[in-house]
Chain A
């Protein structure tokens, strides 16, 4: 029964080995997608290359359909999966800050690894900015964590809120992805003149 962590007690060495193996795949896919490039990543906000949306949306839909499929087949117990508690204000404000940092910095935490691995000095500097930021948070505003814990809403998923099952949500997301694929091509054609020379 999946997740394996619910039936097998991994040793710490095994857990960290799994992390490295999954990381290899994670990093390789990010690099293959072009996410080691800041201009490729930020292009999404100028609408001439929507790869960020295409990759992320497809990844979310793939994993969602996979999770649902495995649970329907009785292979995975979704209730064993970790769900971060929802805090609308924290995730709204945090998302706004994160989006600003992503556009200004050119990367996000994961893609900065792909950037460093591709030789981007700005990726390395972004990673140092990240490191300073998480340090400053721990040093100067640790009380924000306490505020989060005391005011978070709890584990809230769309199926739980709406009463509409995960299968229907997965179907909706697949349909939205197909529509988006068509719409994104149109958007890219309209803004193609912004594309830097390759």
Chain B
């Protein structure tokens, strides 16, 4: 099947997934060994949300227990997970550049438009955020970090993620196939 994917082009092949998995596991292990906690990602977004809210309306921050959790005495951007995300952005950029994989574009299947894809990307991010907040973690904080220490809730989360993904896959196939 040929696609109009503008992102398919000559670039170096991805790393063997099992090798990548070992490396990712070692990053996670190093995080545990150094900090006593695992990886995370959603908390970084939450810190930015609280930071921006505080710039507009400090009263709104005081009104929400969730905002206050990330307020950090008025410097919410000095957040551990936000710095981790910044490092991840730089690390991924170096890796993409080195492998010749940087392409400006929008990734989608051939049967939807760019603007439809962008709308779905926003919607998906919004829903994923709510899910991650409710579950106290995302792929990083629950699925990887929690599962590796056999946290029961993390294993439930992991199973639920795949149940939802496989359950919905048929209905959004036009977005990807």
Asked if A110 and B157 make an inter-chain contact with CB atoms under 8 angstroms apart, the answer reads no
Choose from B108, B165, B166 the contact partner of A122 (Cβ within 8 Å).
B108
Q: How far is the CA of A22 from the CA of B85 in the complex (A)?
A: 9
Q: How far is the CA of A144 from the CA of B135 in the complex (A)?
A: 10
Residues on the B chain within 8 Å of A195, using CB? 1
Q: How far is the CA of A148 from the CA of B66 in the complex (A)?
A: 12
B:68-92 near A, CB below 8 Å: 69-70, 78, 80-81, 83-92
Say how far A1's CB is from chain B's closest CB, in angstroms.
10
Q: How far is the CA of A85 from the CA of B61 in the complex (A)?
A: 25
Interface 1/0 per residue, A113-132 and B, CB below 8 Å: 11111111111011111111
B:20-74 near A, CB below 8 Å: 20-39, 41-42, 44-46, 48-50, 52-53, 60, 64-67, 69-70
A interface, size bucket: 35 or more
In the complex, whether A91 has a CB less than 8 A from a CB of chain B is yes
Q: How far is the CA of A9 from the CA of B173 in the complex (A)?
A: 50
Q: How many residues of B contact A (CB 8 A)?
A: 129
Interface residues of B (CB under 8 A from A): 1-3, 5, 7-8, 14-15, 17-18, 20-39, 41-42, 44-46, 48-50, 52-53, 60, 64-67, 69-70, 78, 80-81, 83-96, 99, 101-109, 117-118, 120-144, 146-166, 168-169, 172-173, 175-177
Asked if A120 and B106 make an inter-chain contact with CB atoms under 8 angstroms apart, the answer reads yes
A:119-155 near B, CB below 8 Å: 119-123, 125-139, 142, 144-146, 148, 153, 155
Asked if A32 and B46 make an inter-chain contact with CB atoms under 8 angstroms apart, the answer reads no
Asked if B84 and A118 make an inter-chain contact with CB atoms under 8 angstroms apart, the answer reads no
